[in-house]
Structures are given as C-alpha cells and as structure tokens.
Amino acid sequence: DGGGGGGAGGGGAEDGGKGGSKEGRSSVRVQDKYAAWEKYDADSALEKLEASARAQEELRRKVTKLENQRAQARVRRRQEREAAESEALRLQGNAAFGAAKYEEAVELYTHALELTPRSAVLYANRGLALLKLRLPTEAEEDCSAAIELEPTNVKARMRRAQARMDTGKFDTALEDLEVALDKEPRNGA
C-alpha cells in the first residue's frame, strides 16, 4: 500500500511538476508574445498596407483607362463602318433618285438613316424623294428633322416650304422661304 500511496503521492508530484512546467511555459510564451509585440512596428506595417492599397488603386485606374480606350476604339471603328455603309447607301439612293426610282430612293435613305440617324442630308434627301412620291406630310417631317439637326440647311428649308405649300400651310411655307433667302440671298430657287 505504501508503494501505492507513494505512487499516488508521486502522481501528485508529477501533476504538480507538470503544472509548474505549464505555468513556466505559459509565462514564457506570454512574455515572448509581449516582447514580439513590442518589437512590432505598427506604423511601418500600416505604411506598407497603405502603399499596397495605393498601388492596387493605381493599377485599377490603369486597367480602367485601358478598358475605356479599347471600348472607345471599338465604338469608333463601328461608327466608321456604319458611316461608310451609310454613305454607300446614300449614293445608291441618289442614283435611284436620279433614275426616278423614288420609292427605292426612300428605302435606301431609310436604311442609311438607321446607320447614321443624325444626318441632316439624309433626312433632306428622303424628304425630296417623298415630295416626288406626293407625300408632303412625311416630306415635311423629314425636312423638319433635317432642320432640327442642321438649322442652316437651306435645301431642307426649301423642301419643307414646298411640302407645306402642298398641304396648304402657306404662312409657314413663306416663313421657310424667307429664312432660306436670308441664309442664301443669291439662291433663286
């Protein structure tokens, strides 16, 4: 029994030894942690983080700028293609008009306007073709669109005046003629 008691006592001593050892290790670890923390330069770490954030932001700006430049280049290329197609359609429309194929001319000018909807020339040309088809109301609308886009477009004013005369709007037709003559006094049309 004495051996067992001694064993129990020995066991107690072992636990006490381990407990003392754990406390010793814990206090060393805590002390090491505090020492490491005191050596830690928070200002330097913060500067590194801020520098990294600035570098990332600068990189993001550069990437965004490149993406915008690429997108603008794509838009420019598309607009150039559409302008070239529109010009080809306008020339075909002019040829059809010259051959007195007014419906075909209207169709071609319409397709061209789908590609370049801000073309005063196309609206004015389609307006003239519509006049030839005896559609003065539609011609007036097209000529008005041309004038809205390009207020100094004398041809559009003259054609709108004709369309207005054809629909009995003589007062407004006279106003268009006066503005046209104001812009081009030598135009005897």
Q: Give the per-residue pLDDT at 57.
A: 95
- The pTM (predicted TM-score) of the whole model is 0.67
CB 105 within 8 A of CB 97: yes
pLDDT at 9 over 70: no
Residues 34-90 have pLDDT tens digits of 777 777 888 888 999 999 999 999 999 999 999 999 999 999 999 999 999 999 999
For CA atoms 82, 88, 94, 95, give the dihedral sign: negative
Compute the CA torsion angle 163, 168, 169, 174 (nearest 10 deg): 80
The residues, any chain, with a CB within 8 Å of residue 118's CB and separated by 6 or more, are 149
The CA-based diameter of the chain, rounded to the nearest angstrom, is: 139
Q: pLDDT above 70 covers what percent of the chain? A: 84
The C-alpha angle with vertex 92 and arms to 141 and 139, in degrees rounded to 5, equals 15
- Residue 113 vs residue 23, higher pLDDT: 113
Mean pLDDT, residues 22-40 taken together: 69
Interior CA angle at 109 toward 165 and 85, to 5°? 155
* pLDDT tier, 21 (very low <50, low <70, confident <90, very high otherwise): low
Count CA within 13 A, CB hemisphere, residue 147: 19
Distance separating alpha carbons of residues 157 and 152, to the nearest angstrom: 8
Q: What's the chain's length in residues? A: 189
* Token pair recorded at residue 123: 């609206």
For residues 163 and 131, the answer to whether their CB atoms sit within 8 Å is yes
What pLDDT, on the 0 to 100 scale, is given for residue 24? 55
Q: How far apart are CA 185 and CA 181, in angstroms?
A: 5
Lowest-pLDDT choice from 24-33, 65-74, 172-181? 24-33
